[in-house]
Chains A and B, each alone.
Chain A
């Protein structure tokens, strides 16, 4: 379980304020979970408890419901979410291998986030450019014709850019 960051704690305060105006009732459970995820980017335990207590529903029930749906995530999204396409064309062109390469390089499993919250890995269905299969998205940028050798380069590039930004911030 990832510890809450200072940003998360601030977001939880936002959630606490917004939740006060929300309607009550069991039917509000999913809308409120969606609201919490919109604010926080994911559902930490603290957010689940807040929603559960506000609606007077068992916390474990809320967890059961949230874990049922794919749209809810329990770990924070990385700053550079890696989305590996598993659509038909990408599957045929070895999308699975690309996913595995990202997993090995970042030392996390699909669905997880690195400890520094820089990267997370997700599998997605078709992103709509099958001619470029296999495809991966890093942040908003699409990378076509992926190959294992490119994975290393992509991760390195993001890390270098971050270091550069940090240096520049330090100089100014």
Chain B
């Protein structure tokens, strides 16, 4: 076991684990969207840019998911620099997000809402301009409808699909602001494994994937 200090509190974590998982395990919340519990330091994508912390010895804030715990490490999760980075990152995500919580099935069970509340900011994106995608919903997938303007492109669904299926059907498609979670299947007959898996639906932190109602 490794012993480190987070915000003045001494916590224990297994060797090799990330600062993020150590903190979450000790009930110290650090905002995060793209991290899976099974992620090691090496395969954490560090894509959402939310899990910043400051660690003594590092000149700048670092992503907690990509740093391995060490004995005697001094971690600060609540500094001005960290909060400022997190607020900016969240606002950038919200700038491409259609904030319409009342009509969103993820209302009150949404990571964006939780993180905004935690950081004490609203769901606005000032000073950034809001840029939405033209396509509101993509219904091609057999199990769910995809709402590009609710998606934060955390990649969790793509990764889950890849882990669980030999022939995954999800990938990122497009580029830049037009990036979406793309679905590719040559034939329309659905793999029964896909319908029973629900991995992508369970892992989505927002309301971007909505299960098709069973007909």
Contact = CB atoms under 8 A, between A and B. Distances in A.
Interface of A: 45-46, 48-49, 58-64, 67-68
A67 B182 CA distance: 9
Contacts of B185: 59
A58 B186 contact: no
7 contacts: A45-B184, A45-B186, A46-B186, A58-B171, A59-B169, A62-B184, A68-B174
A49 B175 CA distance: 21
Q: Classify the interface of chain A: helix, strand, loop or mixed.
A: helix
B186 A59 contact: yes
Contacts, number: 40
Interface of B: 161-162, 167-175, 182-186
Given A45-B184, A48-B186, A59-B186, A68 B170 contact: no
Contacts of A58: 162, 167-168, 171
Given A58-B167, A58-B168, A63 B175 contact: no
Contact of A60 (B170, B174, B175): B170
Contacts of A62: 184
Given A46-B186, A49-B186, A67 B167 contact: no
A46 B169 CA distance: 15
Given A45-B186, A60-B182, A62-B184, 15 more contacts: A45-B184, A58-B162, A58-B167, A58-B168, A58-B171, A59-B185, A60-B184, A63-B173, A63-B182, A64-B171, A64-B173, A64-B182, A67-B175, A67-B182, A68-B174
Contacts of B168: 58, 60
B186 A67 contact: no
Contacts of A45: 184, 186
Contacts of B162: 58
B2 to A, nearest CB: 37
A16 to B, nearest CB: 15
A46 B187 CA distance: 9
A48 B174 contact: no
Contacts of A59: 167, 169, 184-186
Q: Which 5 A-B pairs have the closest CB atoms?
A: A64-B171, A63-B184, A60-B171, A67-B173, A60-B184
